Amino acid sequence: MASDVPSAPLMDRALIEESAKKSALVWVRGQQGSPRALWHVWHEGAVCLVGGPGEQPLDGLGLADGGRATVTCRSKDKGGRLIVWPALVAELAPEGEAWQAAVAELKGKRLNAPDAEELPSRWARACRVLRLEPSGTALQRPGAMPAESHAAPPLPTAASTRVDAPSGLPVRRRRRG
């Protein structure tokens, strides 16, 4: 007797596609390094992204052609982790048919580009366009999330939000009641 309920991989695939389409960012972990938030587009069954000089940094992630990555998509309404899935990484050859189709989609989503008309030629010269295609069943999804926290401490930085008040500002005095 056939079931009317889609199998888990079909449900995973639908959730992957919808969450990737609706979110501006995905978190990608390659063969090395920590996961990194990257802007992307969903195009022809995969997450497509561009990185390199003048774009988002991909160095240190270990995203190599033919390699594997893990992609985390967030919930659009709550902002929390919704689904984590394994992906096969393909680096698209500049000026190829698949590259041109992906770049056309990416160009439309690229915000604040200083050289909007020259993006494709700059990307062909100096950047990498990657395609991350879902491969296998989801590692985490609603109903199958780990119990432990995945919170990570902030990376070390010299930035600070707490500084002494400038000497020219008036001092507020406490009122005595």
DSSP annotation string for 132-165: EEE-SS-SBBTTB--SS----PPPP-S--S--PP
Q: What is the pLDDT of residue 27?
A: 94
- Whole-prediction pTM: 0.79
Fold (CATH) for 8-134 = Pnp Oxidase; Chain A (2.30.110)
- The domain ranges of the chain are 8-134
3-state secondary structure of 85: strand
Q: What is the DSSP letter of 38?
A: E
Q: What is the pLDDT of residue 160?
A: 76
Length of the chain: 177
Give backbone dihedrals phi and psi of 75, rounded to 5 degrees, phi first: -80, 130
Question: What is the average pLDDT score of the chain?
Answer: 86
- Asked if residue 110 lies in contact with residue 122, where contact means CB atoms within 8 angstroms, the answer is no
Question: Does residue 33 or residue 27 have the better pLDDT?
Answer: 27
